[in-house]
Amino acid sequence: MKLRQSYLIIAVLTVIAVHMLLFEQGLGGDGWGYYATCESVLIDGDLNLDNNIYGVYNGFTQDPQTGRYITQYPPGLALMNAPFFLIGNIIGSICPVDIPQEKIFNNPNFKDLPNNVFFRIFGFVFAHNIYAMLGLFILYLTLLINGFSTRLSAIAVLLTYFASPLHYYAQSGMSHANSFFLVACILYCFSKYLITRKSYLWLMIGIFSGLATAVRYTNGILLLVSFAFIIITADKEKLRSVAYLIAGFTAIFWILPVFWWIHANQMRPGYTGQFFFNRIPFYSILFTPRSGFFIFHPLFILSIPGFFMFLRHKKLEYSDTTRLTAVFSASLLIPLCLIYGYWGEWYGGDSYSQRYIINCLPLFTFCMVSMFASEYRWKTVAVVFAVSATIFSYTAFLISISRILQFPEGYIWPQYIWEYFYIFTQDITFSDFINGLRQNTLTLKAIDMCF
């Protein structure tokens, strides 16, 4: 990648980095559960999390025999975030600054955390910013090696961030940014394998799949789909490629049963909840008025016609490598969407928008990007739709974090698509909106306090 050609992606990533800085969301409900594992292992040297829970008990159950708290969250996120956690711990140990936490968080029941704990949390959340940025850059490289222009690839990255829930969850302590990064790595390695036919890349895919499974259990499907594509794509050295894939996956996956046994004295995940098979899964996760991905983030519905554009042979030709990468993306999307659609809380609880699908964003974007590389007529339609859809999706984010509205369901963000109309029935001004951002966004609040 020539330096002159890299200016646009540098500009795009800079805009995203500034956005992350301004609209940092803090640790979040589930984030405290992931953080507890990291602190317990690295600071206490054990997996007894009772003294690592700071008042937020999302995802914890109490063992009736021992009375200890057991987390439902897998340990992969703690593993990925550990370097940033340790850097935060070092800074917190030597930093003399007294941070007015109660004023920043504006919670009368808030108790100041010790300085080193505050910086550990900061490092833990900062890790998600880094992984989101890396995932976006790797997605950019994936588009480049598949023949798309530097301009289109950079714009696709910009849309992936601002037109999806990533613009919220890249700045929170939950697992979605890490999972997004790992799926982007798998997609890049698969594309690279098709180009180079280097079988060691299946080792990398195995490692990323194992780590993704240790972050979110549903990502275990990545291994099965990858195995199927070895059979499809490997002309020779199939056995070596399979061995590489399994070895890479096992190198990480073994952590899970060890964690389950040491932490909870059981050989199964502690995850609560269940699947229900009496619904149409694709409707539930993609099209339902309650947090449906395509309904709240309509840009990505272009991935459907975009995928079929990859397969056609007239007018616009794609290489076999690019077509096969699109098929690989769709083959990952289908089972992942099935799993999320059958899950009991397909809507993500009381979360902002549709968060489960964030790890699929590299796959949606790859399938969608052909719409912007098509002939003039379809490209024009795609561009106009992209601008409108991005504004639509991002408006909900800005209204939500400003906290100037409480929607009918009682949340600061809409749960159903028709709740968007509620925005236009309220007597609020632009000044109210700006003041809401200043009072409820951590970074802007901290800036106000300094000046």
Q: What is the pLDDT of residue 106?
A: 56
Q: What is the pLDDT of residue 86?
A: 95
> What is the percent of the chain with per-residue pLDDT over 90, rounded to a whole number?
58
Lowest mean pLDDT segment, chosen from 19-23, 27-31, 111-115, 377-381? 111-115
What are the distances in angstroms from CA 71 to CA 31, 157, 232, 270, 284? 12, 34, 39, 7, 27
The most confident of the ranges 98-107, 146-155, 404-413 is 146-155
**Adjacent-strand bridge partners of 172:** 26
Report the Cα 115 to chain-centroid distance in Å: 28
Q: What is the pLDDT of residue 109?
A: 53
Angle at which helix 442-450 crosses helix 430-440, to 10 degrees, equals 90
Q: What is the pLDDT of residue 268?
A: 85
Angle made by CA atoms 80, 350, 52, in degrees to the nearest 5: 45
Of 111 and 444, more confident: 444
Residues 299-331: tens digit of each pLDDT: 999 999 999 988 875 545 678 899 999 999 999
DSSP character for 71? E
Cα 188 to Cα 232: distance, rounded to the nearest angstrom? 18
Q: CA nearest 259: which of 82, 54, 50, 76?
A: 76
Cα 231 to Cα 219: distance, rounded to the nearest angstrom? 20
The most confident of the ranges 77-91, 96-110, 425-439 is 77-91
Q: What is the pLDDT of residue 117?
A: 86
Q: What is the pLDDT of residue 423?
A: 78
Q: CA nearest 371: which of 362, 363, 383?
A: 383
Domain-wise residue ranges, the chain: 3-391
* Confidence at 422, pLDDT banded by 50, 70, 90: confident
Q: For the whole model, what pTM was predicted?
A: 0.94
* Residue 110 DSSP SS3: coil
Q: What is the pLDDT of residue 3?
A: 54
What b-and-e string marks burial along 117-143, b requiring 16 or more CB atoms within 10 Å of the CB? bbbbbbbbbbbbbbbbbbbbbbbbbbb
